[in-house]
Amino acid sequence: MGWRRRTRFRPACVVGVCGAGAAPDQDRRLRFSAAAAGLRIRRSCGGGVIRGRGAGEVAGMRRSTPAAVLLAATALAAAGCGGSTPGAGRTTLTVRHVAAAPLPVAPPVRVGSAPTAVAVDGPTVWVADNADGTVVRLDAATGRRLPGRARVGAGPVAVAARDGVAWVASADGTVARLDPRTGVRTGAAARVLDPGGAALGGGALWVTSRAGDAVVRLDPATGARRGRPIRVGRGPTDVVVRDGTAWVANSASGTVSRVDTATGRASAPVRVARRQVLALAADARGVWAATTAGPAGQPIAIVGLDPGSGRPAPEALRVPGGIPLRLAAGGGSVWATDVGAPFASANGAIRPAGVTRIDPTAPAIAGRPIRVGATPGGIAVGAGAVWVANAGDGTVSRIRLSG
């Protein structure tokens, strides 16, 4: 499963504490989960740390696929470490809840082994399975599987779909186009070094290169490169496009870069997190980032970004969750995945996996957590629903935006 080639990563964050920094049972769970996911820990847990890179990937792993990271990250989140205020400058961390009517959740649809990315374009939902390197389609109206399963690169990490065009970026460096009518792979694949995220908009396909500290512009029709890679911050992962700007989450440096889609010029990175930027989301109402501040990926907060400057809002909302965490925006809300905490910890009780609904105007958590499948690893909004790829049980959940 995934890569067998040994890859050297630059450590950029801490995703779990063990040894002297944790209780013995937490230490054992961290060791066991890393081993079960096939991860090699760069530093032993004799009073040390498990180090990660980017949006929660573990340095020194032999099989660096998001599916493996998701398994270990679930236990890492259970360690439940505290932290200081996310963001930069004078951003204040708040905890606020508002009432909201519960939303109906359709029965989960089984799609494969470990779906970790999802995108919606009109009547079609695209779901990438990281474990077996395939992409399947769902009917957005009914949620049912459509015929066919496209074979793509090893370890797909991101799917982008818009205006009848669909692309999938995989951990093996391939970026493949999918036929929207048949769902099969078509044409020659483009190549991007260590891709992390993908988005369509501004007349281009944007793919982040984590190892290259860059974002690459591709022709959305052919996959041909447009110009040289655009340098951004360290370890870019997520990317979204809004109003002529491609926003890039530089996870390793806690910054966000903005790229003019017309000129390809990147502004200077803006610090929005003290540790990591885990994910981005954007719609017509704004742009939001999921950030971390503490040494173990906690606390996690959602903060709005100024569309003109990229600076974080004065107030950030603390949300439940662990690494990895994904964001989506739509239906008047921002949506954040929560891998849950399957083990009780010193800082909290067992927390089931789910999706957190956020009212971005307050900001506040709206209503109760929405239960979905195990280890949600991808999220998208479209066709009147929120779609969640559950890597832990091979399903997709559909949260209807109206009853």
- CA 230/CA 209 separation, integer angstroms: 10
Q: Could you report the per-residue pLDDT of 297-356, keeping only the tens digit for each?
A: 779 999 999 999 999 999 999 999 888 899 999 999 999 999 998 765 555 678 899 999
What rounded mean pLDDT belongs to the chain?
82
Judged by DSSP in three states, 71 sits in: helix
Distance CA 112, CA 37 (A): 18
The Cβ of residue 92 has, within 10 Å, a number of other Cβ atoms equal to 12
Could you give the percent of the chain with pLDDT greater than 90?
Answer: 70
β-bridge mates for residue 290, sequence order: 279, 302
Tokens for 18, please give them: 């063990």
As given in the structure block, the two tokens for residue 69 are 């990271």
Asked whether residue 363 carries a pLDDT value surpassing 80, the answer given is yes
User: Three-state DSSP class for 246?
Assistant: strand
For residue 33, give the 3-state DSSP assignment.
helix
Which band of pLDDT confidence, cut at 50, 70 and 90, is reported for residue 91?
confident
In the predicted model, what is the mean pLDDT of residues 246-259?
97
Lowest mean pLDDT among 104-118, 190-204, 286-300, 321-335: 286-300
The DSSP H or E segment spanning 66 is helix 66-78
- The model's pLDDT over 20-59, given as tens digits with 9 standing for 90+, comes to 333 333 443 343 333 333 333 333 333 333 333 344 433 3
Amino acid in position 288:
W
Domains, the chain, with CATH or none: 13-78 (no CATH), 92-400 (2.130.10.10)
**Identity of the residue numbered 138:** L
Cα 230 from chain centroid?
A: 21
Tell me the mean pLDDT in the region 389-400.
97
Which pLDDT tens digit goes with each residue over 61-73? Answer: 333 444 544 444 4
Buried b (16+ CB within 10 A) or exposed e, 38-53: bbebbeebeebbbbbb
Cα–Cα distance between 120 and 134 in angstroms, integer? 17
pLDDT at residue number 403: 63
Whether 151 shows a pLDDT value over 50: the answer reads yes
Torsion angle of the four alpha carbons 163, 142, 159, 283, in this order, in degrees rounded to the nearest 10: 60
Cα 370 to Cα 366: distance, rounded to the nearest angstrom: 10
Q: Tell me: pLDDT of 17 over 60.
A: no
Predicted local confidence at residue 402, as pLDDT: 85
